[in-house]
Structure 1
Amino acid sequence: MFLLINNKIVLITGASSGIGLEFADLFAKDGYHLVLTARNQMKLDEIAGQMSKKYGVPVTVIAKDLSRPDAAEELTAEIIAKGIEIDVLINNAGFAAYGPFNETSWKDEKDMIQVNITALTTLTKQLLPGMIKRNRGKILNVASTAAFQPGPLMAVYYATKAYVLSFSEAINYELRHTDVSVTALCPGATATNFEKRASLESSRLFQSGAMDAGDVAQSGYKALMSNEALVIPGFKNKALANIVRFLPRKTILKIVHYVQDKK
């Protein structure tokens, strides 16, 4: 028998590591029923056991590869079939590919667009109406400081995060007369498996220092609970995101290319 602090339910994508795993810990600590999804079933089962033991909360695991075109719809269908109503949606799943656009893998970039844009949009589309009907709910979409400028050597990734930020801010405004909110979390370089998958460990961006994933999640959690539309964790990240508004675009492109390039 689980003793719940509250009866709210959160769905977290990309929950097996990094920022997503940190979010799972924060929500479990506050007594939420966790619905966790990622590709790795064994890892999710391990995390579910840890969270249940540590916090005494129920955890539902649904393994999905969100790079598959039908995966997001399958996920929501399984959630509905289990009779679960999602109160909070954390669209955290995402990844990047590194290199000049004419040399990068189109399959990787198609999968990236599917995960970073299509799956995120699908889950929001599927779960938002229920939140509006109940007049309560929160959505957090993980964008990036990459959303504020174009990104040579990671052109598609930067473009996907610009979409996430624009999409999130627009919907949050549409919902201004409801008790449903959308928050865009825009972290800079963060120490997760992200940089390894994108082969970015040796880039100037990550060599200059990365934030702790727990600190990023904590900033996002606080902003989400305060119904903030946008949060940029870390002083350096805030400064960089704001300064690009005052620089010529050509200068921004040169700077971004420099910091993305590998030493």
Structure 2
Amino acid sequence: MSRRAFRYSPGRSLVTGASSGIGAEFARALAARGSDLVLVARREDRLSALAEELESAYDVRCRTVPWDLSESASGRRLREIVPERIDLVVNNAGFAVQGPFADGDADDFERLVAVDIRAVVDICSAFLPDMIARGEGTIVNVASTTAFQPVPTLAVYAAAKAFVLSFSQSLWFESEQHGVRVLALNPGPTHTEFFDVIGDSATATGTYQTPADVVATAMMALDSKRSRPHVVSGRRNSLQAAMVGIVPARVLLPALARMLH
């Protein structure tokens, strides 16, 4: 007998960073399961094109919300725009700044923290209480395999994803007793626009997957009877994430720095 208790099919899902990559693939996978969608990203033209694609292909309703998550109080303001019931929130939006920290731009670091940390916290704060009140709902926070170790030249990004992983695990424990699931999804290097921005040199850990691979990992976890606080996408990525915890930092960090140079 299969261990899967059900095929996860939320009634309405909100996906941030939905205009491309993992976010767009989440939208396609959820639409294929019959979920209506609220698509959030900065690029309105791409959101509109994706919404038309999904409504035509899967007969679902899609709402687009062009939004810059670096703005303050993003979650609270999104909740005002989207007051209806949301069964699944996918916090996928994020970006990285690569290079020696001392050479970086403070404004870029501020925006990274705003999108990768503050917006995740704010959106969870805005949508989680309603889920707990009704005793059901799901939040998926997209972290990264960089969450499992410091990464020279990606110092702020790796630290931000470590925050997302830790934060999500705490919420998993707090929420599970109320019937709500919180999952941290940890992709490794993935074929998306992310690496068009920061370059391929930031692939020292893990092997490339497709957005479909990453989303399939998340959906398999959500289909499972077992509630898990986090999942790593890809067998090799999982092994590497487990191994870095036993390698001393004085050995790990110079090795990572050489690979990322």
TM-score under structure 1 length normalisation: 0.92
Q: Contact between 1:204 and 1:258, CA under 8 Å: does it hold in 2? A: no
- Structure 2: how far apart are the matches of 1:252 and 1:153? 14
Judged with a 3 Å threshold, the aligned counterparts in structure 2 of structure 1 residues 171 and 70 are, in CA distance, closer, same or farther, namely closer
Matches of 1:133 and 1:30, distance apart in 2: 25
Q: Distance in 1 between matches of 2:10 and 2:189?
A: 34
- The amino acid that maps onto 1:120 is V
> Partners in 1 of 2:188 and 2:143 — Cα distance?
10
Give the structure 2 partner of residue 64 of structure 1. Answer: 67
**RMSD, matched Cα:** 1.7
In the alignment of these two chains, the number of paired residues is 252
Q: Aligned letter for 1:221? A: M
- Relative to structure 1, the CA distance from residue 179 to residue 203 in structure 2 (aligned partners, 3 Å threshold; closer, same or farther) is closer
Question: TM-score under structure 2 normalisation?
Answer: 0.92
In structure 1, the gaps of 5 or more residues are 1-5
| 1:12–1:37 CA contact under 8 A, matched in 2 | yes
* Aligned-partner Cα distance in 1 for 2:202–2:157: 16
Give the 3-state SS of the residue equivalent to 1:140 in structure 2. Answer: strand
Q: Which residue of 2 aligns with 1:201?
A: 200
- Picking from 24, 33, 37, the partner of 2:40 is 37
Identify the match of residue 216 of structure 1 among 186, 208, 214.
214
**Is the contact between residue 39 and residue 62 of structure 2 (CA under 8 Å) also seen in structure 1?**
yes
Task: Supply the AA of the counterpart residue of 1:91.
Answer: N
Q: Give the AA of the match of 1:179.
A: G
- Following superposition, the deviation at residue 225 of structure 1 comes to 3.3
The residue aligned with 1:131 is 131
Once residues 146 and 185 of structure 1 are traced to their aligned partners in structure 2, the CA distance between those partners, rounded to angstroms, is: 12
Distance 2:221 2:140 in 1: 9
Alpha carbons 2:74, 2:123 under 8 Å: kept: no
CA offsets 1:98-138 (integer angstroms, 9 cap, x no match): 00000011111111100000001100001000000110000
The question of whether the paired residues in 2 share the 8 Å contact of 1:140 and 1:224 is answered with no
Q: State the shift of 1:176 in Å.
A: 2.7
| Number of the residue aligned with 1:14 | 17
Residue 175 to residue 203, structure 1, CA distance change in 2 (3 Å): closer
